[in-house]
Amino acid sequence: MNSGAPANPSAWAGYWNAPTIWSNSALWHRQMQVLLEQIRPFVEFSATDRVLDFGCGSGFFAAQMQGRVKQIVCADLSQHSVELCRQKFAGRSDVAVVKLTGDLADLAALGPGCTKTLCLSVIQYFPSLEYLDAFIAAVGKVSVRGAQLILVDVGEAQRTWRERLLTVLFTIRHGMFWQVAAKLVQLQFSDADYKAVLGSAGHLEIPHEYFAAVQARLGVQVTEIPRQLTLNANRKSYIIEFA
């Protein structure tokens, strides 16, 4: 299998394991609100769901969904993110926070019984498509039959001019334009570390045809969500269902 252009996960782990301009970002808070609004026709969260938020960051999903599902498991490799979530959700019995190591065997301790797993803007940091295969299989092992793995922001890093226009229109439509503009300025002048890591570590490129092949290879059902969920118009979102 073509492994695509690999990322360097250890370099990214170092970046995310410290306070960043994204840690308490009002933009990411709004982006999560928009995502949950836009995804509603395709994914329905209910009071019986046990949701794994893989790569939870600062816990933006749990902040929106606490009390609306049975349990949320916030899981991340970043000790900094884990500490933020533990502070944010201290005393809540419906939110668990788990530190991961990068070894997919860790996932066994998070189940069984997951009904949904959210993976937002995370898999581009994986080292290879083989690792992504192993991740999907590991999530399946801790999930109930019919559970869904929701992959958001998947694809290539480059944007066409059309995709740039769609991004601008998306931010205007959802009241995010000025937040995005301010964040871009902040990124340009206040976050040299991000640009340095991106330049050296890169992102894993995930071709569209990967998902057609993974259905037969892993015995899962893959559905592309026909709607832009994030401000990244150059990326797609998928639902992987475990039979």
Sorted by where each begins, the domain ranges of the chain are 9-242
Give the DSSP letter of residue 69: S
Residue 94's nearest CA partner among 120, 59, 55, 119 is: 59
Are 130 and 1 in contact by the 8 Å Cβ rule? The answer is yes
Higher confidence at residue 197 or residue 134?
134
Residue 80's nearest CA partner among 24, 150, 146, 157 is: 24
Per residue in 30-54, pLDDT (tens digit) is 999 999 999 999 999 999 999 999 9
Confidence of residue 233 (pLDDT cuts 50, 70, 90): very high
Residue 194's nearest CA partner among 181, 207, 203 is: 203
Confidence of residue 225 (pLDDT cuts 50, 70, 90): very high
Provide the mean pLDDT of the chain. 88
pLDDT value at 9 more than 70: no
Give the DSSP letter of residue 63: H
Task: Report the length, in residues, of the chain.
Answer: 243
Confidence of residue 6 (pLDDT cuts 50, 70, 90): low
The pLDDT assigned to 31 comes to 94
Per residue in 191-207, pLDDT (tens digit) is 777 777 766 667 788 88
Are 53 and 47 in contact by the 8 Å Cβ rule? The answer is no
In the block, tokens 């570390």 appear at 193
The pLDDT assigned to 199 comes to 65
pLDDT value at 92 more than 70: yes
Higher confidence at residue 200 or residue 125?
125
Q: What is the mean pLDDT of residues 165-192?
A: 88
| CATH 3.40.50.150 is right for the domain spanning 9-242 | yes
Quick one: how far is CA 107 from the chain centroid?
16
pLDDT value at 90 more than 80: yes
Residue 126's nearest CA partner among 57, 195, 205 is: 205
Confidence of residue 1 (pLDDT cuts 50, 70, 90): very low
**What pTM was estimated for this model as a whole?**
0.90
Are 84 and 58 in contact by the 8 Å Cβ rule? The answer is yes
pLDDT value at 72 more than 50: yes
Confidence of residue 5 (pLDDT cuts 50, 70, 90): low
